[in-house]
Chain A
């Protein structure tokens, strides 16, 4: 869509180049297949080699691990473009990058990093992130998954995780568990659980009406034996998985903009061409008001994420600022998608158009990685100084 606020002028040449390359990839490789993949309820694996070749996985991690070493604004723009394709595609990349590669990078040993990161960057190994449990979503500190250290330093893992993107296809799961019987969230550590470990099962959750082009799974661990080096040694307390979520939420704030842009662009083209009562429907005041409102909200969201990215690159951002961006932008995108769906009239219910697909996806995005309500409470606590959680 039109760069109404000339935000491009605030991007560096390589940030624009990154954005343009991913945009072209999405236009040519993702958009032609995403509608049918969505209906078939599958992640379009055929685009995976291309995504890896492009280098979107772990793109903001250092080059020594086979990654592109991009700054966070460029990383955000990648998410924006991927979600212009589909939230499921962006989710795949978010999980791989922010929720699997990032914790291995931040909390892993050098051996773990060397073993996993280059392969994950090349898309040869896929990861998933196990934090949420059937009974503990917004309140992860209540988790009951437990790892017990054995006499020989190895670990035994029991519990289950739910709503796990890429769970059934992942070669490795980053699983968060309490340790050694300690029920407090201070005992939470991260573990690398390889696919095929005895007692580790993953099965897809069926019947989704949202994020249909993404695999969502339930993981169960029944006396899974893990070697001593399965633990991410620098992880500790609930803070570690929350750090991962902050990374992912940052990317989501950009991704939502992409979904909104896709819907806006599509609805605008439709409205300019759809003749009703002898003129394009874009010529009617009611539609123009909608476009004016949506344009305004998209521009605001773009500026919020760009500024947040600059703060992140400067090392001075806070998780609360990320909450504001995630909450605002996903809400905005959900509204835009719905409005665009309506502008498209009856055509808007077809998979040939993207608005309803984005709209359904965004309901998941609204809910995952901290629901809209949870982020409201984080912001509430930030301004009032009083926690509403407890």
Chain B
């Protein structure tokens, strides 16, 4: 099975963000970047599928040159080759990203195209479904369990307070939720092997970009925390505050 996994370079979740002087980006000094979380689950799932049933995994990213390192990490985990669709800066238009990816994926002979369900930074969660539309492929989003057999897929998709069991034919586009696979640590041998794997770089065909960043800011701080008392003795005061102040009881 030939699987494409579309991955994004995103800041580590532990980061304490500062806004860059431009006001339209984060200050990247000292920020550690990695494969965006859900994308890394997709990479791991794809590797497990091909390790068991044969085939290869190709990783594709839309981003600046810095994304090469992100692709290289996926190669060190075991992907066979990588493609960077190069941009001059971050892109906030999901459709533009989907166009660039569809342009690359078209005719690639992929049985399955995987995405993380949402990127950590732009947090739009739309590129997978859009790419599927552009390619005319079936699409299932936010999948936490996926079985593939005989050219078909069966997926579990969590809804609010419910879950769907979904069936679909391959080739297809699937976006991956948590719980499907824990990403492996790139082995040291894998890191060395990744240096020799093909990593192609070419300009991203974004087309007309209609969503642009105007401003980034940190959310307003909550008022500082307040301890109202100790032990069960504090419960009456808590109930009073929930009734009179927070008005939730």
Contacts and interface: CB of A to CB of B under 8 A. Distances in A.
A14 B195 contact: yes
Contact of A55 (B69, B73, B189): B189
B185 A25 contact: yes
B191 interface: yes
Nearest to B191: A17
> What is the predominant secondary structure among interface residues of chain A facing chain B?
helix
Contact of A59 (B73, B76, B184, B188): B188
A21 B30 contact: no
B49 to A, nearest CB: 19
A18 B188 CA distance: 6
A177 to B, nearest CB: 33
B119 to A, nearest CB: 20
B69 to A, nearest CB: 6
Contacts of A22: 185, 188
A20 B188 CA distance: 10
A56 B188 CA distance: 7
B188 A78 contact: yes
B187 interface: yes
Nearest to B32: A20
B185 A69 contact: no
A55 B30 contact: no
Contact of B187 (A2, A13, A55, A69): A55
Given A13-B69, A13-B72, A54 B188 contact: yes
A54 B77 CA distance: 11
Nearest to A25: B185
Interface string A28-64: 0000000000000000000000100111100100010
A68 interface: yes
A17 B72 contact: yes
B76 A17 contact: yes
B186 interface: yes
Chain A, interface size: which category? 20 to 34
Contacts of A13: 69, 72
Interface residues of B, number: 17
A69 B69 contact: no
A17 B30 contact: no
B168 to A, nearest CB: 34
Contacts of B195: 14
> What is the predominant secondary structure among interface residues of chain B facing chain A?
helix
B221 to A, nearest CB: 16
A14 B192 contact: yes
Given A2-B30, A17-B76, A63 B189 contact: yes
Interface in B152-195: 184-192, 194-195
Contacts of B32: 20
Interface string A83-124: 000000000000000000000000000000000000000000
Given A2-B30, A3-B30, A14-B195, A70 B69 contact: no
B192 A63 contact: yes
Contacts of A67: 189
Nearest to B183: A24
Contact of A69 (B72, B186, B192): B192
Contacts of B72: 13, 17
B185 A70 contact: no
A3 B32 CA distance: 11
A14 B30 contact: no
A55 to B, nearest CB: 4
Contacts of B189: 55, 63, 67-69
Nearest to A28: B185
A54 B192 CA distance: 12
Contacts of A25: 185
Interface string A247-258: 000000000000
Given A13-B69, A17-B73, A18-B191, 15 more contacts: A13-B72, A14-B191, A14-B194, A17-B72, A21-B186, A21-B188, A24-B185, A53-B184, A53-B185, A55-B188, A55-B189, A68-B187, A68-B192, A69-B192, A70-B188
10 contacts: A18-B188, A21-B186, A53-B185, A53-B187, A54-B185, A54-B188, A59-B188, A67-B189, A68-B187, A69-B189
